Amino acid sequence: MVMSLRERSSKSIRVNERNQHNVCTQSGVETSMFAKLYEQVNILNCFISARSWNQWFR
């Protein structure tokens, strides 16, 4: 289930990259939501890794 969800997300991202002007489609909505979530997780990971690096090299 997790794999199929991941495959569907990457597929909808590829579709959205081809049709970026058409953001009103269902895949466009799903992709933008997924991209926002991924962006937040990415920022959080960068913040955590930066803090741990500072702790190691202080």
Q: Determine the structural domain holding residue 21 and report its residue range.
A: 2-56
Rounded Cα distance, 28 and 35, in Å: 10
pLDDT score recorded for residue 10? 65
pLDDT score recorded for residue 30? 67
Residues lower than pLDDT 50 in the chain: 1, 23-24
pTM, entire model:
0.33
When divided into structural domains, the chain yields a total of: 1
Burial of 13 (0-12, 13-18, 19+ CB in 10 A): middle
Rounded Cα distance, 18 and 36, in Å: 18
pLDDT score recorded for residue 28? 59
